[in-house]
């Protein structure tokens, strides 16, 4: 009955009989009544078939290859024949990039995207939208993960019958990789993004979580983050798409529908801002719009495909209507970003305690102790809709703010090759210095505390630093890099190079050797050094005694007591805990 009801609803919204669909342009999903999804060879075939059927409007391209040597396919679609980035720029067309399958088990976007694409090309949906934009459709981002096919790859999700795996063949979660860009797939995607510079980047997912009536969340940035003027565009895009799909029967929310406290509906919801490792945290740093679409996993696959299809159509209509003005606004944001020198820039955001009570469409439920786990277990009765009156915290404000350097950053020659590779992936401008600067007046960041992560995360041992910038003359060697702050991606530069930014290169452990002590003083030598220092400088002796009297842990730690003197000796490694990247007020 659910399947039949869905098909009737779909046919009423999209008047097309199955017999009228060209077989080569329909999907396994569509032919199965949206119960199954096809393998990746279907994507390869459909990419070619759409180009063959619409040669003046569609170009099928490869933009990379996966570690398991599969092609990464994209369809470039436009009524104007703008099949290259130069052509799109020359015609002043905004670019919309819509991607499915970054988490390949959450595959609604692939099937919904092909369905929406066919309807748009046939003129039955988003009429005229392709006259005013270029669409780049990536059906599956995580291709190797897609081919790790299985029935129970998503145990918290209803349909399709089989689906792909969340992570890549190298076990990377691509939606944690936007800044560090370790995965070959992400490097290929960034190449596509740098070439086409999409105004809007739409990331299609399926959420996990509890059971309730709402079927999708639509989250957009900039709304909480990024350029303040661009936030007006983000709010408009989010509000208009939510209004569009609500008219078509959806029950959308603008925040991620995960309880503040796991498994407790009455704890309500907390909105927030994503870190740059996520798509919605990354693209605001480039002054571009990004949308995270999360259909609800407990809705059946036909419903989720329909909701995703409706969202894709709405995005295309919104960009067609507003894209020209939004593109101009993005260019203005680029210009403002290039003027951020010496201005405070938010690196992190937090949700305040400001709370409002909202009505949320849930189901009747019970919470009883489990004799299996021993904890309270929530059980939902989907036959009994129920309105939950729950708290919502959605006020997001800047947290850690740092002044942008007046000129930029200097990356020492020893680290230049590694950092240059990362900067190139993001299209960030820099230059290599052709001569040394013996006494450069710069700022250095010395860590008072360096805390390594206890476990590996996405292939890295994370590092958290506490400390501050201070003025200090340093030798800058020939071959070092200068990264100017005066560029459109200034916020992204700071996200990568400020040591306390959540997804900085140092935060991802790419400078860990700078925080590993390599040279030591024998204890009997340190003992002699201590006596010599106290005899030569009464102030050192007084400071040592003060530490003994005021710090019991120090007084009880013989190694700390000896290190007190070792740090004051000429043999101490002055580079230990020194962040290798420098800030400068003057361009070298």
Dump pLDDT digits (tens) for 202-241. Answer: 999 999 889 999 999 999 999 999 999 999 999 999 999 9
What DSSP element (H or E) covers 201?
strand 200-207
* Residue 20: predicted pLDDT: 52
Q: pLDDT of 120-167, one tens digit each?
A: 999 999 999 999 999 999 999 999 999 999 999 999 999 999 999 999
* Residue 4: predicted pLDDT: 39
Residue 447 domain-assigned?
yes
Are 419 and 411 in contact by the 8 Å Cβ rule? The answer is yes
- Are β-strands 396-398 and 289-296 bridged in parallel, bridged antiparallel, or unpaired? unpaired
68, 89: one domain: yes
* Residue 21: predicted pLDDT: 58
Q: Give every CB contact of residue 240 below 8 A, 6+ residues apart in sequence.
A: 314, 318
Percentages helix, strand, coil for the chain, rounded to the nearest 5? 35, 25, 40
Residue 345 domain-assigned?
no
288, 417: one domain: no
331, 367: one domain: no
Tokens 């349909």 belong to residue = 159
Q: Cα–Cα distance between 230 and 335 in angstroms, integer?
A: 12
Residue 20 is classified by DSSP as: G
Q: Is 144 exposed, middle or buried (0-12, 13-18, 19+ CB in 10 A)?
A: buried
Domain of residue 369, residue span: 351-398
Q: pLDDT of 409-427, one tens digit each?
A: 999 999 999 999 999 999 9
Residue 324 domain-assigned?
yes
For residue 372, how many other CB atoms are within 10 A of its CB? Answer: 7
For residue 482, give the nearest of 429, 530, 518, 529 by alpha carbon: 429
In this prediction, what percent of the chain has a pLDDT beyond 70? 96
For residue 45, how many other CB atoms are within 10 A of its CB? Answer: 12
Are 443 and 470 in contact by the 8 Å Cβ rule? The answer is yes
319, 363: one domain: no
* Residue 425: predicted pLDDT: 98
359, 424: one domain: no
Residue 140 domain-assigned?
yes
232, 368: one domain: no
For residue 585, how many other CB atoms are within 10 A of its CB? Answer: 14
- DSSP one-letter string for 402-416: EEPPSSEEEE-HHHH
pLDDT grade for 15, boundaries at 50, 70 and 90: very low
Are 48 and 60 in contact by the 8 Å Cβ rule? The answer is yes
Residue 18 is classified by DSSP as: G
For residue 354, how many other CB atoms are within 10 A of its CB? Answer: 10
Please provide the size of the chain in residues.
588
Are 147 and 164 in contact by the 8 Å Cβ rule? The answer is yes
- Does the pLDDT of residue 3 top 50, yes or no? no
For residue 100, give the nearest of 42, 179, 16 by alpha carbon: 42
Q: Cα–Cα distance between 555 and 276 in angstroms, integer?
A: 43
- Bridge partners, 431 (sequence order): 482
- Does the pLDDT of residue 2 top 60, yes or no? no
Collapsing DSSP states into helix, strand and coil, what is residue 247? helix
Number of folded domains that form the chain: 4
439, 529: one domain: no
For residue 160, give the nearest of 122, 125, 110, 204 by alpha carbon: 110
Q: pLDDT of 33-51, one tens digit each?
A: 999 999 999 999 999 999 9
Q: Cα–Cα distance between 112 and 311 in angstroms, integer?
A: 9
* Residue spans of alpha helices (H) in 197-300: 230-247, 279-282
Between the CA of residue 304 and those of 106, 163, 310, what are the distances in Å? 10, 14, 10
Residue 181 domain-assigned?
yes
Per-chain mean pLDDT for the chain: 95
pLDDT grade for 6, boundaries at 50, 70 and 90: very low
Tokens found for residue 224? 């909480």
358, 286: one domain: no
576 HSE (CA, 13 A, CB side): 12
Residue 342 domain-assigned?
no
Between the CA of residue 239 and those of 198, 205, 316, 369, 408, what are the distances in Å? 20, 19, 14, 41, 37
For residue 411, give the nearest of 191, 588, 200 by alpha carbon: 588
Q: pLDDT of 321-355, one tens digit each?
A: 999 999 999 999 999 999 999 999 999 999 999 99
Are 230 and 337 in contact by the 8 Å Cβ rule? The answer is no
Residue 197 domain-assigned?
yes
Q: Cα–Cα distance between 116 and 137 in angstroms, integer?
A: 11
* Residue 22: predicted pLDDT: 65
The enclosing domain of 160 has a CATH number of 3.40.630.10
485, 544: one domain: no
* Residue 24: predicted pLDDT: 85
- Does the pLDDT of residue 14 top 60, yes or no? no
Are 246 and 252 in contact by the 8 Å Cβ rule? The answer is yes
pLDDT grade for 11, boundaries at 50, 70 and 90: very low
- Does the pLDDT of residue 18 top 80, yes or no? no
Longest Cα pair distance anywhere in the chain, in angstroms? 97
Rg (CA), the chain: 27
Output phi, psi for 492, to 5 deg. Answer: -70, -40
List strand residue ranges (DSSP E) for 428-562, in order.
Answer: 431-432, 437-452, 463-476, 481-484
Tokens found for residue 261? 């406290």
Between the CA of residue 217 and those of 9, 257, 311, what are the distances in Å? 21, 7, 11
**Crossing angle of helices 523-536/558-566, nearest 10°?**
60
List strand residue ranges (DSSP E) for 477-536, in order.
Answer: 481-484
* Residue spans of alpha helices (H) in 83-207: 85-90, 108-121, 143-146, 184-196
Tokens found for residue 276? 């740059």
Residue 494 domain-assigned?
yes
For residue 365, give the nearest of 350, 380, 344 by alpha carbon: 380
10, 28: one domain: yes
Q: pLDDT of 104-120, one tens digit each?
A: 999 999 999 999 999 99
- Does the pLDDT of residue 17 top 80, yes or no? no
159, 116: one domain: yes
455, 393: one domain: no
């Amino acid at each position: 009955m659910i399947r039949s009801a869905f098909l009737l609803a779909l046919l009423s919204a999209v008047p097309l009989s199955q017999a009228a669909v060209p077989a080569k342009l329909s999907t396994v999903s569509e032919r199965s009544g949206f119960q199954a999804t096809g393998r990746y060879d279907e994507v390869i075939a459909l990419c070619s078939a759409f180009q063959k059927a619409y040669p003046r409007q569609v170009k099928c391209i490869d933009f990379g290859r996966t570690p398991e040597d599969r092609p990464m396919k994209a369809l470039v679609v436009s009524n104007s024949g703008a099949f290259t980035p130069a052509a799109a720029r020359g015609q002043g067309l905004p670019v919309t990039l819509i991607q499915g399958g970054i988490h390949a088990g959450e595959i609604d976007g692939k099937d919904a995207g092909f369905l929406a694409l066919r309807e748009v090309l046939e003129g039955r949906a988003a009429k005229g939208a392709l006259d005013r934009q270029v669409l780049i459709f990536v059906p599956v981002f995580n291709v190797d993960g897609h081919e790790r096919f299985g029935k129970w790859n998503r145990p918290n999700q209803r349909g399709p019958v089989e689906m792909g795996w969340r992570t890549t063949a190298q076990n990377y979660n691509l939606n944690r990789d936007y800044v560090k860009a370790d995965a070959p797939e992400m490097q290929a995607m960034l190449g596509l993004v740098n070439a086409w510079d999409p105004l809007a980047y739409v990331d299609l997912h399926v959420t996990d979580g509890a059971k309730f009536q709402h079927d999708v969340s639509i989250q957009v940035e900039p709304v909480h983050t990024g350029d303040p003027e661009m936030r007006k565009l983000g709010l408009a895009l989010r509000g208009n798409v939510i209004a569009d799909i609500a008219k078509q029967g959806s029950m959308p929310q603008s925040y991620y529908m995960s309880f503040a406290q796991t498994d407790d509906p009455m704890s309500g919801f907390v909105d927030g801002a994503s870190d740059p490792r996520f798509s919605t945290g990354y693209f605001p740093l480039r002054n571009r719009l990004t949308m995270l679409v999360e259909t609800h996993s407990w809705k059946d696959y036909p419903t989720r495909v329909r909701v995703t299809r409706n969202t894709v159509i709405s995005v295309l209509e919104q960009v067609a209507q507003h894209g020209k003005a939004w593109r101009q606004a993005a260019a203005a944001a680029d210009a403002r970003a290039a003027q951020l020198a010496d201005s405070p820039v938010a690196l992190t955001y937090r949700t305040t305690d400001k709370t409002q009570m909202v009505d949320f469409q849930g189901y009747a439920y019970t919470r009883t102790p489990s004799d299996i786990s021993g904890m309270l277990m929530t059980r939902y009765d989907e036959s009994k809709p129920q309105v939950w009156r729950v708290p919502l915290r959605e006020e997001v404000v800047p947290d850690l703010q740092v002044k942008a350097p007046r000129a930029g950053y200097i990356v020492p020659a020893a680290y230049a090759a590694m950092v240059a590779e990362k900067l190139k992936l993001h299209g960030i401008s820099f230059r290599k210095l052709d001569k040394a600067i013996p006494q450069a007046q710069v700022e250095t960041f010395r860590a008072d505390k360096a805390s390594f992560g206890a476990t590996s995360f996405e292939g890295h041992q994370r590092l958290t630093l506490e400390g501050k910038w201070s003025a200090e003359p340093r030798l800058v060697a020939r071959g070092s890099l200068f990264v100017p702050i005066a560029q459109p991606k200034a916020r992204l530069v700071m996200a990568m190079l400020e040591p306390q930014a959540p997804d900085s290169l140092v935060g991802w452990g790419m400078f860990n050797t700078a925080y590993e002590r390599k040279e030591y003083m024998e204890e009997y030598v340190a003992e002699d050094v201590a006596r010599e220092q106290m005899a030569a400088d009464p102030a050192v002796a007084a400071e040592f005694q003060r530490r003994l009297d005021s710090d019991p842990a120090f007084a009880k730690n013989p190694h700390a007591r000896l290190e007190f003197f070792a740090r004051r000796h000429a043999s101490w490694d002055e580079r230990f805990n020194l962040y290798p990247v420098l800030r400068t007020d003057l361009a070298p």
